[in-house]
A and B are shown apart, each in its own frame.
Chain A
Amino acid sequence: MDRQLLIASTLCYLMALVRTLLAARARIALHGRFNFFAIGAGFLFQTAFLSVRGHALGRCPLTNLFEVFIFLAWSVALIYLMVGPTYRLSLMGAFTAPLVFALQTFALLAPIDVPHQTRLPANPWLEFHASVSMIAYGAFALACVAGVMYLVQERQLKTHQLHSIFYHLPPLTNLFAAITRLLWLGFALYSAGLISGFFTGGPLPRLKMICAFGVWLFYGAILQGRHLRWFAPKRVAALCVLAFSAAISVLWAINFVSQSRPL
């Protein structure tokens, strides 16, 4: 039942992705509204999946890598739905849909939905720590998407080669403002997630802590560099892409070492 909800959600994201590709191929104007509603529908199915799975587990559904991927995809969609319309970043949907689609397709196809032999006890601090950290990853993912959009636009402006996509991208300064706010949002949530990790009651795995602090320091350094104007906006955008790539690798590593102890 819950996997069917997830398949329905993935199909919604696929629709947004296919429409973007068809529009790009036919050189037809991209309309953010369709993507917004497709992602909205996908988000509702994701929420329903997480709710069904959560009720079945009796706790926040973050007990294996499969659920981590779905929660991450849900967080990306959530932040997009909150941020996209606010900053009029309608095209961000065209960039977000493929990311969410890829995360969910991988989660559905890979043999990673392994249920635990024993029912895991509820631990509010642990669940808060894991879910808030995942939402922070969603914000970092969107900052990465906005960073890619910034770099594409900046490159075209510098080289004077303006392609069709250029006319659909939001203004450069608006994009940079969105990147900055997404970074702050993600950093605040990630910090809350890290702090709450100390209250989970169990022993703290050393490697997991090092990785998590590494990501925190990386984003903290970007924000500090941005605040002190060490980094030009272009560099901040590039660092957002790099940091998210590193963070997602770390997330994988954290889950790898946490196999014996679920999140």
Chain B
Amino acid sequence: MNLFCVGISHHTAKVETRESYGARQSEEAFRAESGCTEALMLATCNRVEVYGCAEVSVATEQITRWLARGVAEPPGDASAFYRYEGEECVRHLFRVAAGLDSMVIGETDILGQVKRAYAAARESRSVGPLLHRLFQRAFRVAKQVRTRTDITRGAVSVGSVAVDLAVKIFGDLRDRRVLILGAGEASERTARALSSRGVTDIRVSNRSFERAESLAGLVRGRAISFQQWPVQCREIDILISSTAAGEPLLTRDILAPLIRERSDRPLFIIDIAVPRDVAPEVNEMDGVFLYDIDSLQSIADQSLALRRQHIAAGEEIIAEHVTDFRTWFGRANDEPAPASPRVLAEPALRPSEL
């Protein structure tokens, strides 16, 4: 029995090539045409892959032609396709499911996408005992890599870094008060991210009160007049600033008397304005944590570097499972193969697993 994977991904092709291929027909049709006993299609924004097993070898060209079928535009460069067989195919799937092969290393969305692809193939009865075993193992591997290494730790985008830092400072964000200074797009994105983590008290202040009201409506907050924003520093926990002011709006001298009136709650300031709205020396004040756009980006880069350091640990876990799977596969290959993919007796994936 040949176990293989043919695919194209962000590693081998640009988006204009990748978009020429896709899973536009069912796996059942592919099985009937290719002679595969089992097949599964994984299509995400960064990759299109076919996992299959067949008694005889299925040519890569046959698969790429099938993947390009039904596209109005002529297909892109087919040489960008890769092919893994046997053990390498197993290793590749485990790496994909664990997020080691992703554009953003350690991202966890891919596991959900693999689970959905598996559920769809199972629905269409294209998954038999081999792919079932392979994918179940892949889910286990992904979980182990995620829990036993720091591969998913740390946020890798500016917005998520800001939210992660807020959580590290305050824990639960539900009772926290946020002031948005400047009703720009960047503020809106960060406010939305905080809102998605449970923040309900959002105040918006802008030179144009209409724009403040407009953004407040979008994030279910309330507008504050621009003259009032410094006073708000007595109450708020998080300040997101992104005005177009040419000089710092918040300096140590302005903040010091306001901080004195606060209790010992920390103040987290996210200054995403260029030029900066908050004077850097504000960060030296006790209980104040100031992050500008560069420091947020630097943490995102640090997180990514940290994740890269954990690749080796992830690969070790994967290697153990590949060996296990190879042993099982060797034994299974010695047994007589079923005539057609069996309908598996295991229950379908629960929605929470997808």
Question: Which of A's residues lie within 8 Å of B, judged by CB?
Answer: 26-29, 153, 157-158, 160-162, 164, 166-167, 169-174, 176, 226, 229, 232-235
Rounded to whole Å, the gap between the CB of A12 and the closest CB of chain B is 22
Query: Quick check: A171 and B313 within 8 Å, CB to CB?
Result: no
A232 — which chain B residues lie within 8 A by C-beta? 264, 286-287
B147 — which chain A residues lie within 8 A by C-beta? 29
Docked Cα-Cα span, A235 to B167, in Å, equals 22
Query: Quick check: B169 and A171 within 8 Å, CB to CB?
Result: yes
Known contacts A167-B153, A167-B154, A173-B266; is A234 also within 8 Å of B168 by CB?
A: no
26 pairs of residues in contact across A and B, judged by CB atoms under 8 Å: A28-B149, A28-B313, A29-B148, A29-B149, A29-B150, A153-B168, A157-B165, A157-B168, A160-B295, A160-B298, A161-B302, A162-B299, A167-B150, A167-B154, A171-B168, A172-B168, A172-B170, A173-B169, A173-B171, A176-B264, A226-B264, A232-B264, A232-B287, A233-B264, A233-B266, A234-B286
Main secondary structure of the interface of A (DSSP, over half): helix
Nearest A residue to B292, CB-CB: A160
Docked Cα-Cα span, A174 to B266, in Å, equals 12
Closest 6 CB pairs of A and B: A171-B171, A232-B286, A160-B295, A167-B153, A174-B171, A172-B169
Rounded to whole Å, the gap between the CB of B180 and the closest CB of chain A is 21
Query: Quick check: B313 and A27 within 8 Å, CB to CB?
Result: yes
B287 — which chain A residues lie within 8 A by C-beta? 232-234
Nearest A residue to B260, CB-CB: A229
A169 — which chain B residues lie within 8 A by C-beta? 168
B266 — which chain A residues lie within 8 A by C-beta? 172-173, 233
Docked Cα-Cα span, A175 to B292, in Å, equals 25
Known contacts A167-B150, A167-B153, A173-B170; is A158 also within 8 Å of B283 by CB?
A: yes
Nearest B residue to A232, CB-CB: B286
Nearest B residue to A229, CB-CB: B264
Q: Which of B263, B266, B303, B309 has the most CB of A within 10 A?
A: B266
* CB under 8 Å from chain A, chain B span 239-270: 263-266
Query: Is B95 an interface residue, CB under 8 A from the partner?
Result: no
Query: Quick check: A164 and B153 within 8 Å, CB to CB?
Result: yes
B291 — which chain A residues lie within 8 A by C-beta? 160
Docked Cα-Cα span, A170 to B172, in Å, equals 11
Question: Which of B's residues lie within 8 Å of A, judged by CB?
Answer: 147-150, 153-154, 165, 167-171, 263-266, 283, 286-287, 289, 291, 295, 298-299, 302-303, 306, 309-310, 313
Docked Cα-Cα span, A167 to B310, in Å, equals 14
Rounded to whole Å, the gap between the CB of A90 and the closest CB of chain B is 14
Docked Cα-Cα span, A164 to B305, in Å, equals 11
B295 — which chain A residues lie within 8 A by C-beta? 160
Query: Quick check: A173 and B265 within 8 Å, CB to CB?
Result: yes
Q: Which of A172, A226, A233 has the most CB of B within 10 A?
A: A172
Partner of B170, one of A162, A171, A235: A171
A176 — which chain B residues lie within 8 A by C-beta? 264
A27 — which chain B residues lie within 8 A by C-beta? 149-150, 309-310, 313
Rounded to whole Å, the gap between the CB of A62 and the closest CB of chain B is 37
Rounded to whole Å, the gap between the CB of B194 and the closest CB of chain A is 15
Rounded to whole Å, the gap between the CB of B107 and the closest CB of chain A is 16
Rounded to whole Å, the gap between the CB of A181 and the closest CB of chain B is 15
B310 — which chain A residues lie within 8 A by C-beta? 27
A235 — which chain B residues lie within 8 A by C-beta? 286
Rounded to whole Å, the gap between the CB of B209 and the closest CB of chain A is 33
Docked Cα-Cα span, A170 to B291, in Å, equals 20
Rounded to whole Å, the gap between the CB of A156 and the closest CB of chain B is 9
B306 — which chain A residues lie within 8 A by C-beta? 164
A153 — which chain B residues lie within 8 A by C-beta? 168
Docked Cα-Cα span, A173 to B264, in Å, equals 10
Docked Cα-Cα span, A153 to B286, in Å, equals 14
Nearest A residue to B169, CB-CB: A172
B289 — which chain A residues lie within 8 A by C-beta? 157-158
Docked Cα-Cα span, A167 to B154, in Å, equals 7
A26 — which chain B residues lie within 8 A by C-beta? 313
Query: Quick check: A166 and B168 within 8 Å, CB to CB?
Result: yes
Q: Which of B150, B165, B170, B295 has the most CB of A within 10 A?
A: B150
Known contacts A162-B302, A164-B306, A229-B263; is A28 also within 8 Å of B150 by CB?
A: yes
A161 — which chain B residues lie within 8 A by C-beta? 302
B165 — which chain A residues lie within 8 A by C-beta? 157
A160 — which chain B residues lie within 8 A by C-beta? 291, 295, 298-299
Docked Cα-Cα span, A153 to B299, in Å, equals 15
